[in-house]
């Protein structure tokens, strides 16, 4: 008992989405009987309000038809059976709209809290349901205490409302015996409808208290320990499809962030079609040029497109593009072995800018960029 209480006290973490989803599959969703009852009663009240006049008129007609007949018909089994059949069919048609509305409200009311859930295991027999010890535990549980409080509250509210309604309409009820049959039926139906709506409105207060309690109770039952959260995280991230989705999402975010750096680059060195590497050099710092974006194939094409749209210089040098692509990671400075090659490219870029400002002749791009042999014979790692 002490161990179970200790475990319950440790459940301080809110349920994760996976925990909520698993609980829903097992049929564990918040439910409020009071909410369903109130919606059904309100549905019945408004249904009577809409269809009550016609139902009362049909009842009046059925009473007239079945209470006025010839003497010989009372002693004929065939006529009595025929009259009973006709009355039954007429009664079904008379109540069909109201029954349809009540059925719709009863079926749709669970959607307002918890939604539709079906689990065959909930109706399967379980030994714990007939266990006396388990039964005593449920009897003295917070849920049972809440049910007792609700029952007492409903009794007090309904009793008080009944006394109040009877006090208000007592004279009208006593006056029904003095009215003709049609008028008495109409008045009785009107009184019944408004009394039903009054009782239902009172029970709305009970439902307004019960719904938050059921939501709180549901969240409390699904609370997790910190260890359970960690285990679930390991289990979820351990699945190959989840890891793949996470990596894909991370790569997508990295690509989007990388593309925003291209417009600020000084030069994009291309393969010219398979690789593209964007470099940025801060003249006021002591560091070397940095790789702010790189990619191959479709990503390289997107880098070139953004560079052209923003006026960034494109410089075609397949050996240097491959060397930078394979040797340098994003936001890292270029390796020392490529300083000379990149310096020639950056000098050409600065000369282009100067020529553009002075409207002078464009400089010729450098040829035979000196790329070390180890970068042309393989895919080296970063070398400082």
Q: Cα(59)–Cα(90) distance, rounded to whole angstroms?
A: 10
Q: Was domain 259-376 assigned CATH 3.40.1690.10?
A: yes
Q: Cα(369)–Cα(267) distance, rounded to whole angstroms?
A: 15
Q: What is the pLDDT of residue 61?
A: 82
Q: Give Cα 19 distance to the centre of its chain.
A: 14
CA nearest neighbour of 206 among 164, 161, 149: 149
Q: What is the pLDDT of residue 3?
A: 43
Give the pLDDT confidence of 368-382 residue by residue, as tens digits.
Answer: 888 887 776 555 544
Q: What is the pLDDT of residue 211?
A: 83
Please list the alpha-helical segments (H only) found in the chain: 2-10, 17-25, 33-67, 71-74, 77-108, 132-139, 142-174, 181-221, 226-237, 240-259, 298-309, 318-327, 339-358, 373-376
Give the pLDDT confidence of 215-264 residue by residue, as tens digits.
Answer: 888 888 888 888 887 777 777 665 666 667 777 777 777 777 888 888 88
Q: Cα(301)–Cα(243) distance, rounded to whole angstroms?
A: 28
In this predicted structure, the answer to whether residue 286 has a pLDDT above a threshold of 80 is no
Q: What is the pLDDT of residue 238?
A: 58
Give the pLDDT confidence of 56-105 residue by residue, as tens digits.
Answer: 778 778 877 777 767 776 677 777 778 788 888 888 888 888 888 888 88
With cut-offs at 50, 70 and 90, classify the pLDDT of residue 137: low
DSSP letters, 110-135, are GGGTT-----GGGGS--GGGS-HHHH
Q: What is the pLDDT of residue 242?
A: 64
Q: What is the mean pLDDT of the chain?
A: 78
CA nearest neighbour of 31 among 157, 147, 136, 132: 147
Q: What is the pLDDT of residue 8?
A: 47
Query: What integer is the mean pLDDT of 7-22?
Result: 72
In this predicted structure, the answer to whether residue 12 has a pLDDT above a threshold of 80 is no
Q: Cα(44)–Cα(46) distance, rounded to whole angstroms?
A: 6
Q: What is the pLDDT of residue 354?
A: 83
The SS3 call for residue 291 is strand
Which residues are registered as beta bridge partners of 313? 267
Task: Choose the weakest-confidence range: 48-52, 167-171, 234-238, 271-275.
Answer: 234-238
Task: State the span(s) of the chain assigned CATH 3.40.1690.10.
Answer: 259-376
In this predicted structure, the answer to whether residue 333 has a pLDDT above a threshold of 80 is yes
What's the chain's Rg over C-alpha atoms?
A: 41
Q: What is the pLDDT of residue 131?
A: 60
Q: What is the pLDDT of residue 287?
A: 79
DSSP letters, 37-94, are HHHHHHHHHHHHHHHHHHHHHHHHHHHHHHH---HHHHT-HHHHHHHHHHHHHHHHHH
In Å, what is the CA distance from 320 to each residue of 130, 277, 282, 324, 345? 78, 9, 20, 6, 10
């Amino acid at each position: 008992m002490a161990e179970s209480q200790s475990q319950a006290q440790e459940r301080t973490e809110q349920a994760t989405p996976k925990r909520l989803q698993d609980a829903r599959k097992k049929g564990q969703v918040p439910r409020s009987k009071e909410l369903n009852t109130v919606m059904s009663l309100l549905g019945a009240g408004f249904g009577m309000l809409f269809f009550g006049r016609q139902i009362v008129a049909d009842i009046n007609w059925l009473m007239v038809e079945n209470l006025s007949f010839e003497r010989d018909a009372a002693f004929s089994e065939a006529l009595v059976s025929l009259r009973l059949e006709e009355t039954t069919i007429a009664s079904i048609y008379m109540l069909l709209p109201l029954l349809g509305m009540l059925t719709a409200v009863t079926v749709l009311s669970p959607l307002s809290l918890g939604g539709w859930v079906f689990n065959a295991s909930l109706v399967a027999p379980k030994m714990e349901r007939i266990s006396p010890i388990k039964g005593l535990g449920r009897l003295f549980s917070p849920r049972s205490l809440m049910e007792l409080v609700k029952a007492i509250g409903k009794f007090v509210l309904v009793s008080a409302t009944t006394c109040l309604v009877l006090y208000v309409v007592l004279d009208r009820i006593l006056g029904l015996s003095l009215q003709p049959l049609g008028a008495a039926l109409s008045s009785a139906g009107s009184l019944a409808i408004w009394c039903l709506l009054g009782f239902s409105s009172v029970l709305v207060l009970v439902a307004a208290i019960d719904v938050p309690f059921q939501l709180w109770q549901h969240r409390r039952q699904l609370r997790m320990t910190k260890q359970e959260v960690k285990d679930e995280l390991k289990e979820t991230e351990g699945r190959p499809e989840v890891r793949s989705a996470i990596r894909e999402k991370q790569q997508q975010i990295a690509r989007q962030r990388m593309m925003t750096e291209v417009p600020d680059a000084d030069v994009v060195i291309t393969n010219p079609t398979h690789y593209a590497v964007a470099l940025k050099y801060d003249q006021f710092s002591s560091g070397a040029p940095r790789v702010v974006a790189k990619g191959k194939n479709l990503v390289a094409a997107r880098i070139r497109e953004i560079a052209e749209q923003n006026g960034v210089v494109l410089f075609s040098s397949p050996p240097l593009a491959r060397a930078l692509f394979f040797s340098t990671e994003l936001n890292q400075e270029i390796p020392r072995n490529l300083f000379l090659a990149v310096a020639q490219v950056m000098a050409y870029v600065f000369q282009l800018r100067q020529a553009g400002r002075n409207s002078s002749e464009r400089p010729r791009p450098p040829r035979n960029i000196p790329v070390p042999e180890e970068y042309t014979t393989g895919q080296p790692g970063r070398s400082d």
